[in-house]
């Protein structure tokens, strides 16, 4: 939990430095981050405030279906048994 708070504080600082300097490149050099990183946190902060600076789950919204059919799986298992 403390680590999460530190991350949020660091991200908030980046956004605040940007608002002071009004220059993305200078902000990134000063904070040691990339422009894409700054852009991400600026957008989230503008849309959601401090809540937007928290980590989000990286879990996918959906997962792909089976890559093989059941009949193929059975064939693979049968071949494995025969090789033993």
Q: What DSSP string runs through 2-53? A: HHHHHHHHHHHHHHHHHHHH--HHHHHHHHT--HHHHHHHHHHHHHHGGGGG
C-alpha angle 35/2/5, rounded to 5°? 40
Provide the domain limits for residue 48: 1-55
Is 83 within a domain?
A: no
Task: Tell me whether residue 41 is in a domain.
Answer: yes
- For residue 39, tell me if it sits in a domain: yes
- With respect to residue 50, please indicate whether it lies within any of the assigned structural domains: yes
> Could you tell me if residue 65 is inside a domain?
no
Burial class (CB in 10 A: 0-12, 13-18, 19+), 27: buried
Q: Are 54 and 12 in contact (CB under 8 A)?
A: no
Total of domains in the chain: 1
| pTM of structure | 0.69
In a domain, 78, yes or no: no
The pLDDT tens digits for 18-76 are 999 999 999 999 999 999 999 999 999 999 999 999 999 988 888 777 788 888 999 99
Q: Is residue 81 part of a domain?
A: no
State yes or no: pLDDT of 13 exceeds 90. yes
């Amino acid at each position: 939990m403390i680590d999460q708070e530190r991350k949020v504080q660091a991200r908030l600082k980046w956004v605040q430095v940007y608002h002071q300097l009004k220059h993305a490149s200078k902000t990134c050099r000063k904070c040691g981050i990339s422009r894409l990183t700054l852009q991400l946190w600026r957008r989230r902060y503008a849309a959601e405030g401090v809540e937007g600076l928290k980590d989000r789950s990286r879990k996918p919204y959906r997962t792909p279906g089976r890559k093989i059919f059941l009949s193929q799986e059975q064939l693979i298992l049968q071949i494995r048994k025969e090789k033993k």
